[in-house]
């Protein structure tokens, strides 16, 4: 990034901002808390209202027309809000009627007109409820009572006559206010009105979204313009000179400089040196770009450190396939992503490509492990000769530890580069000491296993390298401290690193555990399906249902675990060993607003 400071005469400033916004390359440095107190009245409120409407209408499964509606955005928004108000009101009334219907249903079929006539003629009717064990059957002979319904442990009855005696344990209920048929009729009317308003919203989505998007883009552009004009611009010389500061990617600076020179704009520029607010723009290959959303789940790198995306991507892909580890599931994932990718939106296509990679990784690891839809390939007669080449559970266990060790060592190598890049070579010496110590131990151990016991001369070399590595660790873990504090910091670093590496290595056992558990669940599904296949007549149908439903469920659960646990290994173990600090701010250039 290149840091630019622009000095512009006040009369030219708004034109300058419009040109910058059209160019879309400058990430403006924030100065004040953003507000629109000096902006257009109601602009931000209108923007939020339109944005909410567009988001809601986009969720409707309708095809948006290329030709926009002839109505104004205000009229479309007014109709949208009116439909939603109507739907909310009708839905509220419908729910109230549903509650009323429950209360009325206990009285069965009745006529409110007949009830009113009886009461006008001097025969009031009381509606009561009582627990069954409290009801005295002799009341039926003593009083003008008629049992209407018996629901659960309650009895519902009516009492005719003006002189209704107070019976014990009885609960007087309110008179029904509507008949069941009337309630059902009104509910049907409400359903129809809700459906009509929903259909109207669908019509608004078809023709109104282009209009709203156009206005959303216009308002968004104005809002961004006002934020820069009012909140992020400094004034000098009694307001005659406007000062704006921002960052531009190195690849875009020449175009900006040409514009500034042609228009006579004063400016200064220098390469960014890693200030906390320097924005970060990730630049990766097509393959690495697919994994950027995964890294952003944690944080962007700070400006002066390595972007680890391309470094963790191959491991993440490998770990996903390791965890799922079934060739059949890999084929299903690849085919499903390939088919959906054809009709997916431009934003979704990269995710489908990522799923395709995950499917291929799963297929490869499934072949290595000898698993295909829960079937152990090595146990099939025609593939029995290949059984020695498939990895058994012991080999899978050790492979998970080996892969973990490789990623940890790779992370330490990246940590050295990060430390040197951010703070200088001396700050990487402590981590270099750890790498020397580890490779010294591994190298001489392998050499001893191959060639036998080490000679005295080689033992001396080994000890010398070990001592040198420990000195680097003890005195350069934190070289910014005084010498005696360096030693103490080094001792504490040794304890933390040793415990941390062992703990991190154990974390990679989850790769083995998930791979084994997924294959076991697949085998269980197959065994269940085979047992059901023996049922007469419907056995084959049940077999197919169990296989399809069981493996679909296992694929869904296992693929989720196969994503989450490699994510943890990446963002915790790998990032920690690579010395990742994060905290970077996304490069967000001042540009024309792009509508939803």
DSSP string, 102-125: HHHHTT-S--HHHHHHHHHTT--E
The H-or-E segment that residue 257 falls in is helix 253-262
Q: Check pLDDT > 60 for residue 269.
A: yes
Instruction: Please write the tens of the pLDDT for every residue from 559-578.
Output: 999 999 999 999 989 998 88
The string over 381-401, giving b where at least 16 C-beta atoms fall within 10 Å of a residue's C-beta and e elsewhere, is: eebeeeeeebbeeeebbebbe
Instruction: Tally the residues of the chain.
Output: 596
Domain boundaries, the chain: 111-175, 306-577
What pLDDT sits at residue 4?
93
Q: What is the mean pLDDT of residues 32-50?
A: 70
Instruction: Please write the tens of the pLDDT for every residue from 518-534.
Output: 888 888 988 888 888 87
What pLDDT sits at residue 66?
64
Q: Check pLDDT > 60 for residue 37.
A: no
Distance (Å, whole) CA 341 – CA 353: 8
- Of the chain, the percentage scoring pLDDT greater than 90 comes to 34
CA 531 to chain centroid = 40
Q: Check pLDDT > 80 for residue 64.
A: no
What pLDDT sits at residue 41?
61
Residue 352, SS3 per DSSP: helix
What pLDDT sits at residue 552?
92
Residue 147, SS3 per DSSP: strand
What contacts 403, CB < 8 A, 6 or more positions away?
315, 318, 319, 322, 508, 511
Taking the CA atoms of residue 431, residue 436, residue 442 and residue 443 in that order, the dihedral angle to the nearest 10 degrees is: 150
What pLDDT sits at residue 407?
93
Average pLDDT, the chain: 87
Q: What is the 3-state secondary structure (H, E, C) of 185-232?
A: HHHHHHHHHHHHHHHHHHHHHHHHHHHHHHHHHHHHHHHHHHHHHHHC
What pLDDT sits at residue 497?
81
Is 14 or 470 the better-scoring residue by pLDDT? 14
Is 54 or 164 the better-scoring residue by pLDDT? 54
What pLDDT sits at residue 323?
92
Locate all alpha helices (DSSP H) within 263-308, ordered by sequence.
286-290, 292-296
Distance (Å, whole) CA 79 – CA 310: 49
Instruction: Please write the tens of the pLDDT for every residue from 296-339.
Output: 888 899 888 889 999 999 999 999 999 998 999 999 999 999 99
What pLDDT sits at residue 6?
93
What pLDDT sits at residue 518?
86
The structure's pTM equals 0.75
HSE (CB half, 13 Å, CA atoms) of 46?
20
What pLDDT sits at residue 13?
92
What pLDDT sits at residue 566?
93
Q: Check pLDDT > 60 for residue 39.
A: no
* Top mean-pLDDT range of 38-52, 394-408, 498-512, 519-533: 394-408
Distance (Å, whole) CA 103 – CA 91: 19
Q: What is the mean pLDDT of residues 247-256?
A: 91
Instruction: Please write the tens of the pLDDT for every residue from 427-478.
Output: 888 888 888 888 888 877 777 676 777 778 877 888 888 888 888 888 887 8
Q: What is the mean pLDDT of residues 377-403?
A: 86
539, β-bridge pairs? none
Quote the Cα angle for 544-547-551, to 5°: 150
Instruction: Please write the tens of the pLDDT for every residue from 199-251.
Output: 999 988 888 888 888 888 888 888 888 888 888 889 888 889 999 999 999 98
What pLDDT sits at residue 533?
81
What pLDDT sits at residue 199?
92
What pLDDT sits at residue 241?
92
What pLDDT sits at residue 20?
93
What pLDDT sits at residue 595?
57
Give the confidence band of 367 by pLDDT, cuts at 50, 70, 90. very high
What pLDDT sits at residue 313?
94
Nearest to 249 by CA among 422, 7, 417, 4: 4
Give the confidence band of 483 by pLDDT, cuts at 50, 70, 90. confident
Q: How many other C-beta atoms lie within 10 A of the C-beta of residue 191? A: 13
C-alpha distances out from residue 476 to 408, 410, 419, 430, 472, Å: 20, 20, 12, 5, 5
CA 485 to chain centroid = 44
Q: Check pLDDT > 70 for residue 280.
A: yes
What pLDDT sits at residue 360?
95
């Amino acid at each position: 990034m290149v840091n630019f400071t622009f000095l512009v005469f006040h009369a030219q400033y708004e034109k300058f901002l419009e040109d910058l916004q059209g160019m879309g390359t400058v990430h403006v440095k924030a100065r004040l808390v953003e507000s629109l107190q000096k902006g257009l009245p109601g602009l931000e409120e209108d923007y939020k209202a339109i944005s909410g409407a567009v988001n809601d209408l986009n969720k409707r499964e309708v095809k948006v027309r290329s030709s926009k509606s002839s109505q104004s955005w205000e009229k479309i928004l007014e109709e949208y809000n009116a439909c939603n108000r109507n739907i909310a009101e009708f839905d509220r009334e419908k729910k109230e009627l549903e509650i009323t219907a429950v209360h009325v249903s206990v009285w069965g079929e009745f006529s409110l007109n007949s009830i009113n006539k009886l009461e006008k003629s001097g025969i009031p009717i009381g509606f009561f409820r009582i627990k069954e064990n409290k009801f005295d059957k002799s009341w039926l002979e003593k009083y003008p009572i008629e049992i209407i319904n018996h629901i659960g442990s309650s009895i519902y009855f009516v009492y005719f006559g003006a002189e209704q005696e107070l019976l014990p344990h009885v609960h007087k209920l309110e008179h029904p206010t509507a008949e069941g048929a009337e309630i059902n009729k009104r509910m049907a009317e409400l359903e129809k009105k809700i459906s009509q308003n929903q259909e109207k919203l669908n019509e608004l989505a078809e023709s109104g979204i282009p209009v709203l998007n156009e206005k959303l883009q216009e308002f968004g552009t104005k809002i961004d313009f006002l934020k820069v004009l009012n909140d992020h611009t400094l004034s000098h010389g009694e307001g005659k000179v406007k000062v704006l500061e921002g960052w531009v990617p190195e690849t875009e600076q020449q175009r900006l400089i040409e514009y500034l020179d042609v228009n006579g704009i004063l400016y200064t520029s220098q390469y960014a040196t890693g200030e906390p607010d320097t924005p970060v723009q990730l630049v990766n290959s097509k393959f690495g770009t697919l994994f950027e959303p995964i890294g952003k789940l944690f944080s962007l790198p700070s400006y002066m450190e390595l972007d680890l995306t391309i470094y963790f991507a191959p491991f993440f892909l490998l770990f996903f396939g390791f965890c799922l580890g079934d060739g059949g599931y890999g084929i299903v994932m690849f085919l499903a992503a390939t088919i959906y990718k054809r009709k997916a939106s431009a934003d979704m296509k990269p995710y489908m490509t990522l799923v395709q990679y995950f499917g291929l990784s799963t297929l490869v690891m499934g072949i290595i492990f000898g698993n295909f839809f829960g079937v152990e390939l090595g146990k099939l007669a025609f593939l029995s000769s290949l059984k020695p080449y498939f990895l058994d559970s012991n080999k899978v266990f050790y492979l998970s530890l080996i892969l973990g060790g490789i990623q940890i060592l790779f992370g330490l190598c990246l940590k050295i580069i990060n430390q040197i890049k951010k703070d200088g070579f001396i700050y990487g010496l402590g981590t270099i000491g750890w790498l020397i110590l580890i490779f010294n131990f591994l190298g001489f151990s392998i050499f001893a296993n191959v060639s036998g016991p080490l000679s005295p001369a080689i033992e001396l070399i080994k000890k010398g390298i070990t001592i040198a590595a420990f000195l680097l660790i003890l005195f350069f873990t934190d070289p910014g401290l005084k010498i005696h504090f360096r030693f103490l910091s080094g001792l504490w670093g040794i304890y933390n690193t040793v415990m941390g590496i062992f703990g991190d290595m154990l974390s990679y056992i989850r790769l083995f555990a998930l791979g084994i558990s997924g294959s076991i669940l697949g085998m269980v599904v197959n065994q269940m399906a085979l047992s059901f296949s023996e049922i007469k007549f419907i056995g084959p149908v049940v077999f197919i249902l169990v296989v399809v439903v069981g493996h679909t469920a296992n694929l869904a659960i296992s693929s989720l675990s196969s994503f989450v646990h490699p994510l943890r290994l990446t963002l915790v173990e790998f990032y920690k060993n690579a010395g990742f600090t994060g905290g970077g701010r996304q490069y967000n250039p001042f540009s024309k607003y792009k509508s939803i």
